[in-house]
Structure 1
Amino acid sequence: MRARPVSPPLLVEELADRIASAPRPSWVRVALDGAPATDPGRLADDLVDPLRLRGREVLRVSASDFLRPASLRLEFGRSDPDAFYTDWLDTGALIREVLGPLEPGGTGRVLPALWDSARDRATRAPYVTLPPGAVLLLDGTLLLGRDLPFDLVVHLWLSEAALARRTLGEHRWRLPAYTRYEHEARPSQVADIVVRVEDPRHPAVVTEPGS
């Protein structure tokens, strides 16, 4: 997997340029995909101001606000990696409330958050209507291989060993799900942009994916 080293600020600027270059008549749905150890939410947050400086309105959404209720999510226990992989994310709601309305010809009316998983209840967040040309920045993990309609996908990649080192002890039960994701969804092959983040201070943009 060949990669071009970049500084974190330059990475943000390059991604902002790529996203802002999309045609303005339509919305741009961007996924920042990666295990929590890669902190995709931080990269999404870092892109907000640069995109606004480029004349794009931005909405931040986190996939963690579209998890299924605990009764469904934890049906097989709190530490089942297969359930984590297949059952935690409410993909139907994410399409219905966020991604679908931003399809060409859509309404642009988006629900930024649906479910508070900590309290296990609806967030009661208000709907937001995005003008054409606005950018959705959605961060999350295990987003690919689910037929979610994105216009651009950025995958933050860690080697299996690095992911194991940087995954907190309480979440290590999730490691088999990340391994399964690499083998089944093949995010490094499917994403539009792949960034190696084994050292978050020295990311590298992949120029030639490995096998």
Structure 2
Amino acid sequence: MRPSQRVAEAILALPADRIRRVAVDGVNGAGKTDFADALAGELNVRGAKVIRVSADGFLNPPRTRHRRGRDSPEGFYRDSFDYGRMVRLLLDPLGPEGNREYIREVYDVRRERQVRRLPELADDNAILVLDGVFLLRDELYRYWDYSVWLEVPFDVAVPRAAKHGLGIKDPDPKSVKNWRYVEGQRLYMAECHPRDRAKAVIDNSDLDNPVLLT
């Protein structure tokens, strides 16, 4: 059984009396989007109603993301996302006391501009699957009913991210061009220990053969 199947079954085993919120976390190039899509597919075939969202829809504009400098690791970790709006517009409405009216994105990173989306109404037993970096940080950790950490070393993740144009341009993990991303992730891991916080840890170094570690 593939890890995405086992994770799907674990999520469906959770109490279904509320919307279940699931995070798929990992470094840039860990394969978060692909894994989250596969997980959503496994949930769908089992009859679940999935809300599929990317954290990139809650990015800050460049003036905020780069206010500590374009190469700042701390800026990457602390300033990339608008967590206030992510919580207010997405996570709280889908929480136990929420009204189920959520907004899936406020920012289009490809066009680097704010977007306005109409609220959507979630089914009362829907499952939110959200992928992104830094999702197990202190500000967000308590919102997840289930969480996944994709374990991928930088010497695999960075070239993969560069190949697919995921913000990183240089495939060399030690390049100064990657200082912002690699050291920003190391700051996050040292501060929040996402591997320890996740419900499931998956070695995703080989995209064709992911391995469930815990």
TM-score range, shorter chain: 0.7 to 0.9
Match of 1:3 in 2: none
Distance 1:109 1:132 in 2: 11
Query: Alignment partner for residue 153 of structure 2, among 159, 174, 179?
Result: 159
| Runs ≥4 residues deviating over 3 A | 160-167
Pairing 1:177–2:180 present = no
Which structure 2 segments of 5+ residues have no match? 163-167, 171-177
Q: Give the TM-score taking structure 2 as reference length.
A: 0.86
Query: Alignment partner for residue 19 of structure 1, among 11, 16, 21?
Result: 11
- Corresponding residue pairs, total: 199
Contact 2:28 2:157 in 1 (8 A): no
Contact 1:16 1:47 in 2 (8 A): yes
Contact 1:160 1:179 in 2 (8 A): no
Pairing 1:44–2:33 present = no
Indicate the SS of the match to 1:156: strand
Aligned residues: CA RMSD: 1.7
Query: Alignment partner for residue 189 of structure 1, among 189, 196, 199?
Result: 196
User: What one-letter code is carried by the residue in structure 2 that aligns with 1:126?
Assistant: L
Offset of residue 18 of structure 1: 1.1
Distance 1:49 1:127 in 2: 24
Pairing 1:55–2:54 present = no
Distance 2:138 2:77 in 1: 11
Offset of residue 144 of structure 1: 1.4
User: What one-letter code is carried by the residue in structure 2 that aligns with 1:170?
Assistant: K
Which structure 1 segments of 5+ residues have no match? 1-5
Offset of residue 38 of structure 1: 1.1
Offset of residue 165 of structure 1: 4.9
Indicate the SS of the match to 1:145: coil
Encode CA deviations 1:61-95: one digit per residue, 9 max, x unaligned. 10011011222112133222110001111111110
Q: Give the TM-score taking structure 1 as reference length.
A: 0.87
Distance 2:38 2:197 in 1: 23
Contact 1:108 1:129 in 2 (8 A): yes
Match of 2:116 in 1: 124
Larger relative contact order (CA 8 Å, sep ≥ 6): 1
Contact 1:23 1:133 in 2 (8 A): no
Residues 146/59 of structure 1: CA separation in 2 closer, same or farther (3 Å cut) = same
Encode CA deviations 1:27-71: one digit per residue, 9 max, x unaligned. 000001012311211111112232122221111110011011222
Percent identical pairs in the alignment equals 31
Match of 2:174 in 1: none
Offset of residue 121 of structure 1: 2.0
Match of 2:92 in 1: 100
Indicate the SS of the match to 1:65: helix
Residues 73/179 of structure 1: CA separation in 2 closer, same or farther (3 Å cut) = same
Query: Alignment partner for residue 213 of structure 2, among 200, 206, 209?
Result: 206
Offset of residue 167 of structure 1: 4.6
Distance 1:71 1:38 in 2: 27
